[in-house]
Structure 1
Protein backbone atom coordinates (compact mmCIF):
# COMPACT_ATOMS: atom_id res chain seq x y z
CA UNK A 1 0.00 0.00 0.00
CA UNK A 2 1.25 3.47 -0.86
CA UNK A 3 1.95 5.96 1.92
CA UNK A 4 -1.23 6.82 3.80
CA UNK A 5 -2.20 10.45 4.21
CA UNK A 6 -4.65 11.41 6.95
CA UNK A 7 -6.19 14.86 6.66
CA UNK A 8 -9.29 16.83 7.55
CA UNK A 9 -12.21 15.95 5.32
CA UNK A 10 -13.34 18.31 2.58
CA UNK A 11 -16.74 18.67 0.93
CA UNK A 12 -15.22 17.01 -2.13
CA UNK A 13 -14.80 13.81 -0.03
CA UNK A 14 -18.55 13.53 0.62
CA UNK A 15 -19.31 11.22 -2.33
CA UNK A 16 -16.62 8.70 -1.37
CA UNK A 17 -17.65 8.81 2.30
CA UNK A 18 -21.30 8.36 1.32
CA UNK A 19 -20.52 5.38 -0.92
CA UNK A 20 -18.59 3.61 1.84
CA UNK A 21 -21.09 4.43 4.57
CA UNK A 22 -24.10 3.35 2.52
CA UNK A 23 -22.35 0.08 1.59
CA UNK A 24 -21.81 -0.58 5.31
CA UNK A 25 -25.43 0.36 6.08
CA UNK A 26 -26.82 -1.95 3.38
CA UNK A 27 -24.60 -4.98 3.87
CA UNK A 28 -23.32 -5.20 7.44
CA UNK A 29 -24.38 -5.16 11.07
CA UNK A 30 -21.52 -2.74 11.86
CA UNK A 31 -24.14 0.00 12.11
CA UNK A 32 -27.73 -0.53 13.14
CA UNK A 33 -29.12 2.24 10.96
CA UNK A 34 -30.92 1.51 7.71
CA UNK A 35 -31.20 5.18 6.67
CA UNK A 36 -28.84 6.12 3.84
CA UNK A 37 -26.43 9.01 4.09
CA UNK A 38 -26.51 11.78 1.50
CA UNK A 39 -23.74 13.94 0.10
CA UNK A 40 -25.56 16.97 1.47
CA UNK A 41 -25.74 15.65 5.04
CA UNK A 42 -22.13 14.50 4.97
CA UNK A 43 -20.97 17.85 3.56
CA UNK A 44 -22.86 19.61 6.37
CA UNK A 45 -21.20 17.36 8.96
CA UNK A 46 -17.76 18.01 7.45
CA UNK A 47 -18.36 21.77 7.62
CA UNK A 48 -19.67 21.60 11.19
CA UNK A 49 -17.06 19.22 12.60
CA UNK A 50 -13.88 20.58 11.00
CA UNK A 51 -10.86 18.64 12.26
CA UNK A 52 -13.24 16.17 13.93
CA UNK A 53 -13.90 14.67 10.48
CA UNK A 54 -10.78 12.96 9.11
CA UNK A 55 -10.16 10.95 5.92
CA UNK A 56 -7.36 8.62 4.89
CA UNK A 57 -6.11 8.27 1.34
CA UNK A 58 -3.31 6.55 -0.57
CA UNK A 59 -3.86 6.25 -4.29
CA UNK A 60 -7.54 6.84 -3.49
CA UNK A 61 -9.97 7.03 -0.60
CA UNK A 62 -9.38 4.50 2.22
CA UNK A 63 -11.81 5.54 4.92
CA UNK A 64 -12.86 8.12 7.46
CA UNK A 65 -13.25 8.80 11.17
CA UNK A 66 -15.46 11.43 12.74
CA UNK A 67 -16.59 12.39 16.21
CA UNK A 68 -19.54 14.30 17.54
CA UNK A 69 -21.19 15.08 20.89
CA UNK A 70 -22.01 11.93 22.88
CA UNK A 71 -25.33 13.33 24.11
CA UNK A 72 -26.97 16.72 24.14
CA UNK A 73 -26.75 19.04 27.10
CA UNK A 74 -23.89 20.99 28.67
CA UNK A 75 -23.03 18.27 31.18
CA UNK A 76 -21.84 16.03 28.33
CA UNK A 77 -19.77 18.66 26.51
CA UNK A 78 -16.45 16.95 27.29
CA UNK A 79 -17.51 13.54 25.96
CA UNK A 80 -17.67 12.60 22.28
CA UNK A 81 -18.68 9.54 20.29
CA UNK A 82 -17.07 8.49 17.05
CA UNK A 83 -17.46 6.45 13.89
CA UNK A 84 -14.59 4.95 11.91
CA UNK A 85 -15.00 3.05 8.65
CA UNK A 86 -12.50 1.68 6.14
CA UNK A 87 -12.77 0.23 2.67
CA UNK A 88 -12.12 -3.54 2.90
CA UNK A 89 -8.64 -3.41 1.31
CA UNK A 90 -7.46 -0.85 3.89
CA UNK A 91 -8.17 -3.04 6.92
CA UNK A 92 -5.20 -4.52 8.74
CA UNK A 93 -2.67 -1.98 7.40
CA UNK A 94 -2.67 0.62 10.20
CA UNK A 95 -5.13 2.96 8.45
CA UNK A 96 -7.72 2.79 11.23
CA UNK A 97 -5.06 3.46 13.85
CA UNK A 98 -3.77 6.46 11.87
CA UNK A 99 -7.29 7.86 11.50
CA UNK A 100 -8.03 7.41 15.18
CA UNK A 101 -4.74 9.03 16.24
CA UNK A 102 -5.66 12.12 14.21
CA UNK A 103 -9.25 12.07 15.44
CA UNK A 104 -8.24 11.77 19.09
CA UNK A 105 -5.92 14.76 18.69
CA UNK A 106 -8.75 16.77 17.11
CA UNK A 107 -11.16 15.78 19.89
CA UNK A 108 -8.60 16.78 22.55
CA UNK A 109 -8.18 20.08 20.70
CA UNK A 110 -11.92 20.67 21.10
CA UNK A 111 -11.73 19.97 24.83
CA UNK A 112 -12.89 16.34 24.87
CA UNK A 113 -12.05 14.36 28.00
CA UNK A 114 -13.25 10.99 26.72
CA UNK A 115 -14.27 9.32 23.50
CA UNK A 116 -16.88 6.58 23.14
CA UNK A 117 -17.27 3.86 20.56
CA UNK A 118 -20.63 2.18 20.11
CA UNK A 119 -19.67 -1.14 18.48
CA UNK A 120 -22.12 -3.74 17.24
CA UNK A 121 -21.92 -6.97 19.21
CA UNK A 122 -21.77 -8.64 15.79
CA UNK A 123 -18.52 -6.83 15.00
CA UNK A 124 -15.83 -8.61 17.06
CA UNK A 125 -13.14 -7.14 14.79
CA UNK A 126 -14.35 -3.65 15.76
CA UNK A 127 -14.26 -4.51 19.46
CA UNK A 128 -10.73 -5.95 19.10
CA UNK A 129 -9.55 -2.92 17.11
CA UNK A 130 -10.78 -0.50 19.75
CA UNK A 131 -9.22 -2.56 22.55
CA UNK A 132 -5.86 -2.49 20.71
CA UNK A 133 -5.93 1.32 20.58
CA UNK A 134 -6.74 1.76 24.25
CA UNK A 135 -10.53 1.64 24.51
CA UNK A 136 -12.06 -0.36 27.37
CA UNK A 137 -15.44 -2.05 27.26
CA UNK A 138 -17.64 -0.25 29.79
CA UNK A 139 -21.07 -1.69 28.94
CA UNK A 140 -22.83 -4.26 26.80
CA UNK A 141 -26.43 -3.33 26.06
CA UNK A 142 -28.33 -6.47 25.08
CA UNK A 143 -30.70 -6.41 22.13
CA UNK A 144 -30.88 -2.62 21.68
CA UNK A 145 -30.32 -2.73 17.92
CA UNK A 146 -32.58 -4.36 15.36
CA UNK A 147 -31.53 -5.00 11.77
CA UNK A 148 -31.80 -7.82 9.25
CA UNK A 149 -34.72 -9.24 11.26
CA UNK A 150 -32.70 -9.86 14.42
CA UNK A 151 -31.82 -8.19 17.70
CA UNK A 152 -28.23 -7.12 18.27
CA UNK A 153 -26.16 -6.05 21.27
CA UNK A 154 -24.32 -2.75 21.46
CA UNK A 155 -20.87 -2.71 23.07
CA UNK A 156 -19.91 0.65 24.56
CA UNK A 157 -16.17 1.27 24.74
CA UNK A 158 -14.47 4.33 26.20
CA UNK A 159 -11.05 5.92 26.06
CA UNK A 160 -9.93 8.80 28.25
CA UNK A 161 -7.99 11.34 26.26
Structure 2
Protein backbone atom coordinates (compact mmCIF):
# COMPACT_ATOMS: atom_id res chain seq x y z
CA UNK A 1 0.00 0.00 0.00
CA UNK A 2 1.25 3.48 -0.90
CA UNK A 3 0.11 6.34 1.32
CA UNK A 4 1.26 9.83 2.33
CA UNK A 5 3.88 9.74 5.06
CA UNK A 6 3.10 10.98 8.55
CA UNK A 7 5.55 12.15 11.22
CA UNK A 8 5.03 8.79 12.95
CA UNK A 9 6.72 7.13 9.94
CA UNK A 10 9.98 9.02 10.50
CA UNK A 11 11.78 6.31 12.54
CA UNK A 12 11.07 3.69 9.86
CA UNK A 13 12.07 6.09 7.07
CA UNK A 14 15.30 6.91 8.92
CA UNK A 15 16.08 3.21 9.41
CA UNK A 16 15.73 2.51 5.68
CA UNK A 17 17.64 5.63 4.62
CA UNK A 18 20.41 5.14 7.18
CA UNK A 19 21.02 1.58 5.98
CA UNK A 20 21.59 3.00 2.48
CA UNK A 21 23.92 5.66 3.90
CA UNK A 22 25.95 3.19 5.98
CA UNK A 23 26.07 0.22 3.63
CA UNK A 24 26.24 1.52 0.08
CA UNK A 25 27.60 4.04 -2.39
CA UNK A 26 24.08 4.83 -3.60
CA UNK A 27 24.31 8.11 -1.71
CA UNK A 28 27.44 10.16 -1.15
CA UNK A 29 26.54 11.36 2.33
CA UNK A 30 27.89 9.74 5.46
CA UNK A 31 25.61 11.70 7.80
CA UNK A 32 22.71 9.58 8.99
CA UNK A 33 19.16 10.93 9.05
CA UNK A 34 17.64 11.93 12.37
CA UNK A 35 14.06 10.71 12.88
CA UNK A 36 13.04 13.93 14.67
CA UNK A 37 14.31 16.06 11.79
CA UNK A 38 12.50 13.87 9.25
CA UNK A 39 9.29 14.03 11.33
CA UNK A 40 9.49 17.83 11.34
CA UNK A 41 9.99 17.91 7.56
CA UNK A 42 7.00 15.65 7.01
CA UNK A 43 4.89 17.75 9.41
CA UNK A 44 5.61 20.91 7.39
CA UNK A 45 3.95 19.36 4.35
CA UNK A 46 6.98 18.21 2.38
CA UNK A 47 5.59 15.83 -0.26
CA UNK A 48 6.40 12.36 1.05
CA UNK A 49 5.02 8.84 0.51
CA UNK A 50 5.65 5.50 2.10
CA UNK A 51 5.18 1.96 0.83
CA UNK A 52 3.81 -0.39 3.49
CA UNK A 53 3.37 -4.13 3.84
CA UNK A 54 1.18 -5.16 6.77
CA UNK A 55 1.45 -1.58 8.11
CA UNK A 56 5.27 -1.76 8.16
CA UNK A 57 7.07 0.92 6.13
CA UNK A 58 9.24 -0.73 3.47
CA UNK A 59 10.13 2.30 1.37
CA UNK A 60 9.71 6.05 0.97
CA UNK A 61 9.89 8.75 -1.68
CA UNK A 62 9.96 12.54 -1.46
CA UNK A 63 10.76 15.50 -3.64
CA UNK A 64 11.73 19.15 -3.40
CA UNK A 65 12.90 22.01 -5.56
CA UNK A 66 15.94 21.06 -7.66
CA UNK A 67 17.74 24.36 -7.04
CA UNK A 68 16.79 27.52 -5.19
CA UNK A 69 15.22 30.55 -6.79
CA UNK A 70 12.13 31.30 -8.85
CA UNK A 71 13.65 30.12 -12.13
CA UNK A 72 13.62 26.54 -10.83
CA UNK A 73 10.14 26.51 -9.31
CA UNK A 74 8.93 23.89 -11.83
CA UNK A 75 12.00 21.63 -11.54
CA UNK A 76 12.11 19.09 -8.70
CA UNK A 77 14.56 16.45 -7.51
CA UNK A 78 13.40 13.32 -5.76
CA UNK A 79 14.76 10.72 -3.38
CA UNK A 80 13.52 7.16 -3.17
CA UNK A 81 14.74 4.31 -0.98
CA UNK A 82 13.47 0.80 -0.32
CA UNK A 83 14.34 -1.75 2.31
CA UNK A 84 16.31 -4.65 0.88
CA UNK A 85 13.36 -6.98 1.44
CA UNK A 86 11.07 -4.72 -0.62
CA UNK A 87 13.17 -4.61 -3.76
CA UNK A 88 11.71 -6.29 -6.84
CA UNK A 89 8.13 -6.18 -5.53
CA UNK A 90 6.92 -3.15 -7.53
CA UNK A 91 6.97 -0.80 -4.54
CA UNK A 92 9.51 1.53 -6.10
CA UNK A 93 7.42 1.87 -9.23
CA UNK A 94 4.28 2.50 -7.12
CA UNK A 95 6.06 5.12 -5.01
CA UNK A 96 7.28 6.91 -8.13
CA UNK A 97 3.79 6.84 -9.65
CA UNK A 98 2.39 8.53 -6.53
CA UNK A 99 5.24 11.05 -6.45
CA UNK A 100 4.96 11.93 -10.15
CA UNK A 101 1.16 12.17 -10.01
CA UNK A 102 1.37 14.60 -7.10
CA UNK A 103 4.10 16.61 -8.83
CA UNK A 104 2.08 16.89 -12.05
CA UNK A 105 -0.94 18.12 -10.07
CA UNK A 106 1.32 20.81 -8.57
CA UNK A 107 2.45 21.94 -12.04
CA UNK A 108 5.93 20.42 -11.86
CA UNK A 109 7.47 20.30 -15.32
CA UNK A 110 10.62 18.23 -14.81
CA UNK A 111 11.67 15.65 -12.24
CA UNK A 112 15.39 15.08 -11.68
CA UNK A 113 17.15 12.03 -10.27
CA UNK A 114 20.72 12.36 -9.03
CA UNK A 115 22.03 8.78 -9.09
CA UNK A 116 25.45 7.56 -7.99
CA UNK A 117 27.57 6.06 -10.74
CA UNK A 118 28.03 3.16 -8.30
CA UNK A 119 24.29 2.48 -8.35
CA UNK A 120 23.59 0.84 -11.73
CA UNK A 121 20.35 -0.64 -10.33
CA UNK A 122 19.11 2.87 -9.57
CA UNK A 123 20.03 4.05 -13.05
CA UNK A 124 18.23 1.09 -14.65
CA UNK A 125 15.18 1.61 -12.41
CA UNK A 126 14.87 5.24 -13.48
CA UNK A 127 15.43 4.38 -17.16
CA UNK A 128 12.56 1.86 -16.99
CA UNK A 129 10.35 4.71 -15.70
CA UNK A 130 11.23 6.97 -18.63
CA UNK A 131 14.11 8.94 -17.12
CA UNK A 132 16.98 9.74 -19.47
CA UNK A 133 20.56 10.54 -18.57
CA UNK A 134 21.05 14.25 -19.17
CA UNK A 135 24.43 14.79 -17.57
CA UNK A 136 27.24 13.39 -15.51
CA UNK A 137 29.30 15.31 -13.01
CA UNK A 138 32.64 13.58 -12.77
CA UNK A 139 34.03 13.00 -9.28
CA UNK A 140 31.24 15.05 -7.67
CA UNK A 141 31.17 12.92 -4.54
CA UNK A 142 33.68 11.32 -2.21
CA UNK A 143 32.93 8.38 0.05
CA UNK A 144 34.93 5.47 1.43
CA UNK A 145 38.12 6.94 -0.02
CA UNK A 146 36.75 7.00 -3.57
CA UNK A 147 35.71 9.72 -5.99
CA UNK A 148 32.24 9.07 -7.39
CA UNK A 149 30.39 10.44 -10.41
CA UNK A 150 26.88 11.85 -10.14
CA UNK A 151 24.59 10.75 -12.96
CA UNK A 152 21.77 13.20 -13.60
CA UNK A 153 18.60 11.78 -15.10
CA UNK A 154 15.40 13.61 -15.92
CA UNK A 155 11.83 13.06 -16.94
CA UNK A 156 9.59 15.72 -18.43
CA UNK A 157 6.25 15.44 -16.61
CA UNK A 158 4.12 18.02 -18.45
Per the normalisation by structure 2, the TM-score is 0.96
Contact 1:49–1:68 (Cα < 8 Å) also in 2: no
In structure 2, the partner of 1:152 is: 148
3-state SS of paired residue (1:127): helix
Q: Deviations over 1:72-95 (max 9, x none)?
A: 000000000000000011111111
Q: Deviations over 1:7-53 (max 9, x none)?
A: 00001100000111111111111110111111121112212344x20
Instruction: Tell me, in whole angstroms, the C-alpha distance in 2 between the residues paired with 1:139 and 1:114.
Output: 14
Aligned CA RMSD, in angstroms, stands at 0.9
The reply to whether residue 114 of structure 1 matches residue 110 of structure 2 is: yes
Contact 2:51–2:57 (Cα < 8 Å) also in 1: yes
Which of 81, 85, 94 matches 2:90?
A: 94
Q: Deviations over 1:54-85 (max 9, x none)?
A: 00001221100000110000000000000000
In structure 1, the partner of 2:24 is: 28
Unaligned ranges ≥5, structure 1? none
Q: Deviations over 1:78-118 (max 9, x none)?
A: 00000000001111111100000000011112221010000
Instruction: Tell me, in whole angstroms, the C-alpha distance in 1 between the residues paired with 2:84 and 2:148.
Output: 23
Contact 2:16–2:58 (Cα < 8 Å) also in 1: no
Which of 58, 65, 76 matches 2:72?
A: 76
Per the normalisation by structure 1, the TM-score is 0.94
Contact 1:114–1:158 (Cα < 8 Å) also in 2: yes
Deviating runs (4+, > 4 A) in structure 1? Answer: none
Instruction: Tell me, in whole angstroms, the C-alpha distance in 2 between the residues paired with 1:35 and 1:111.
Output: 32
- For these two proteins, the number of residue pairs brought into alignment is 156
3-state SS of paired residue (1:100): helix
Q: Deviations over 1:94-151 (max 9, x none)?
A: 1100000000011112221010000000000000000000100000111110000100
Unaligned ranges ≥5, structure 2? none
